Chain A
Amino acid sequence: MVALFSSTIDQLHNGLNGAGLRQQTTANNIANVDTPNYKARKANFEHTLDAAKQQFDSRRTDGRHFDFGGAGDRGAYTSIDRTRSYHHNGNGVDMDKEMAAMANNQIYHSALIDRMDGQFSSLKTALGGQ
């Protein structure tokens, strides 16, 4: 991102993306609560935040080289928990867990938005706008 924005905004951006993915995954799990043999999915994205924290840039001399480390390049992903079954039809969605995850995610998301807002208002102040 442009040097005008601090890396904090980048990290918040990653976090928001992750929260969005988690919300989507939870929505999917709850949508499939009555689907036989469906297994719950989980969004993993905190590692991208970690990666953003410890920036470790590699020197690439060719476009085909892989970038090891690097801020958030690995992206968020979802994993499937195939071991659990909560219903007789092989469904692995724990409704209470999903609802709790969603509430958690909502708070996390609004905290990130709050911070993002803070960042932009600081920037506005610095730029002399009121």
Chain B
Amino acid sequence: MFDGMNSTASALTAQRLRMDTAAGNMANASATRGRMVDGEWEPYRRKMVTMAPQDNRASFASHLQDAERESAGGVQVTGIVEDQTPFQSMHQPGHPDADEDGNVQLPNVDPLKEMVDVMGATRSYEANVTVFDAHKSMKMSAMEIGRG
């Protein structure tokens, strides 16, 4: 009975994580010391959230089982992956992390991309809140049966 609410809750969690990840990326947009690799500082790498449906199983038997018990579904975060696009390079000779030629490696974070992600996450979050409200009011009105 509360399965719909649970799947919406999973979406709210996932969207918030997406928002948090975008916020982390923005905050680290100029972090030149993200991770130590072989004694050298590597800049921060942009992170992305990957999602999959919760009932994402391949076998026929599992689908049959799902159909029988009308499984909840919802969404799950399958991982946080790092963006492998190359780092930006900027000529800044005075920088403590500059190489011999005076170039500094900067994170591969594009604030525009992050803004798009933030907007997407916000809209999806709002949509799911609407769904949650609808669900709640349906359940509450079902409680009223026979009271009148």
The answer to whether A31 touches B8 (Cβ under 8 A) is: yes
Task: List A contacts of B8 (CB < 8 A).
Answer: 27, 30-31
Most buried by A among B72, B138, B141: B138
Chain B neighbourhood of A95, CB < 8 A: 127
Contact B138 A23 (CB under 8 A): yes
The answer to whether A33 touches B127, judged by C-beta atoms less than 8 angstroms apart, is yes
Smallest Cβ-Cβ distance to B55: which chain A residue: A28
**Binding stretch for chain B, among A54-62, A65-73, A109-117:** A109-117
Interface residues of chain A, those whose CB is within 8 Å of chain B, are 16, 19-21, 23-24, 26-28, 30-36, 38, 77-78, 95, 99, 102-103, 106, 109-110, 113, 116-117, 120-121
Q: How far is the CA of A34 from the CA of B19 in the complex (A)?
A: 13
The secondary structure that dominates the A interface is helix
Query: Closest 4 interchain pairs by CB?
Result: A31-B11, A24-B4, A28-B73, A27-B4
The answer on a CB contact under 8 Å between B128 and A31 is yes
Tell me the bound Cα distance from A14 to B58 in angstroms: 31
Q: Main SS of the interface on chain B?
A: helix
With A23-B135, A26-B131, A27-B135: A32-B75 Cβ-Cβ less than 8 Å: yes
Using Cβ atoms and an 8 Å threshold, which residues of chain B touch A16?
142
Bound CA span A110–B5, Å: 18
Contact B144 A113 (CB under 8 A): yes
Q: Which A residues lie within 8 Å of B137 (CB)?
A: 106
What residues on A are CB-neighbors of B144 within 8 Å? 113, 117
Query: In the complex, which residues of chain B have a beta carbon less than 8 angstroms from the beta carbon of A106?
Result: 134, 137-138
Residue in B67, B73, B127, B145 whose beta carbon sits within 8 Å of that of A77 in the complex: B67
Report, as a range, how many residues of chain B touch the other chain.
35 or more
Q: A35-B52, A113-B141, A120-B145 are in contact. Are A24 and B127 (CB under 8 A)?
A: no
Residues of A contacting B145 in the complex (Cβ-Cβ under 8 angstroms): 113, 116-117, 120
In the bound complex, what is the Cα–Cα distance between A34 and B14 (angstroms)?
10
Whether B148 is near chain A, meaning CB under 8 Å from some CB there, is: yes
Closest approach, in angstroms, between the C-beta of B121 and any C-beta of chain A?
A: 8
What A residues does B146 contact at CB under 8 A?
116-117, 120
Give the chain B neighbours of A26 by CB distance below 8 A: 131
Closest Cβ of chain B to A41, distance in Å, is 8
- Per-residue CB proximity of B108-134 to A under 8 Å, as 1/0? 000000000000110010011011001
**Shortest CB distance A107–B (Å):** 11
Q: Are B11 and A23 in contact (CB under 8 A)?
A: no
By beta carbon, the residue of chain A nearest B147 is A117
